[in-house]
Structures are given as structure tokens and as C-alpha cells.
Amino acid sequence: QVQLVESGGGLVQSGDSLRLSCAMAGRTFGEYTMGWFRQAPGKEREFVAGVIWSDRNTYYADFVKGRFTISRDNAKNTVYLQMNSLKPEDTAVYYCAAKRGWGTYTALNQYDAWGPGTQVSVSS
């Protein structure tokens, strides 16, 4: 059974940066595509970024391109989300997700496991 735990959220000001981490346990990390999603108050959970095997195989939602970078360390079973130039509209709970297999998965129901989430709040 896959277990995911996010960390690194917090309260920052507009323009600041944050780095989220997600550690995976329970299965072979390299067999999984990893994704980040977010859910703002009153809104549906949405895809943010994904990484397949290595940092050369990444894909993003249009609204974060150029600001966020997803990466993974297969030796540490960890995926990261570097968030730069944060905006108040980036305020949300950020979730890490794992999908067994390799592909560009962006839909919630494609993922097999989820972390509990970490809150990111950006003040103006």
C-alpha cells in the first residue's frame, strides 16, 4: 500500500517562493508517475504538475508554467514542487498523488494514492 506525506506548506507573501516535498513509502517509487494537485476553498481539486520517471519528463498546467517546477529524487523516494513568484490565487491545499505506471496523467481518478495535503497560503 502506497503512503504519501507532504510537507513544506506555509504562509508567504505574494512573490515569495516555497518548496513542497512529498515522501512515498510502501512501494517501488520508480514505478510511479507522481503528481501535484491543489484545491482552493470552494473549488474543485485541479492538476498542477506531474513527473514521470525523471526530471526530463515533466508536464504542467498552463497556469503554473514558468513559475513552478516539479522534480523527483528516486533515491530518496521523494517528489518536490518548487513554487516561485507565488500569487494569492495560488492559495490552496496542495496534494501529492501517485499513479502506478508511466504517462501524462492529469485526471484525479487516474491516480492510485493521495497524501493528506499541505496548506499553502499567499497573502497580497
Query: Confidence band (pLDDT; 50, 70, 90) for 99?
Result: very high
What's the confidence (pLDDT) of residue 69? 97
Q: Are strands 10-13 and 18-25 parallel, antiparallel or unpaired?
A: unpaired
pLDDT above 70: residue 19: yes
Is the confidence at residue 95, as pLDDT, over 90? yes
Please tell me whether residue 106 adopts helix, strand or coil conformation.
coil
Predicted confidence at residue 2, as pLDDT, reads 93
C-alpha 10/C-alpha 73 separation (Å) is 22
Give the pLDDT of residue 27: 83
Residue 71 confidence (pLDDT)? 95
The whole-angstrom separation of Cα 124 and Cα 115 is: 28
Query: How far apart (Å, rounded) are the C-alpha atoms in residues 73 and 44?
Result: 29
Note the pLDDT of residue 55: 67
Per-chain mean pLDDT for the chain: 95
The rounded radius of gyration (Å) of the Cα atoms in the chain is 13
**How far apart, in whole angstroms, are the C-alpha atoms of residue 51 and residue 59?**
7
Collapsing DSSP to helix, strand or coil, 90 comes out as: helix
For 32-89, the pLDDT digits (tens) are 999 999 999 999 999 999 999 776 799 999 998 889 999 999 999 999 999 999 999 9
pLDDT attached to residue 26: 86
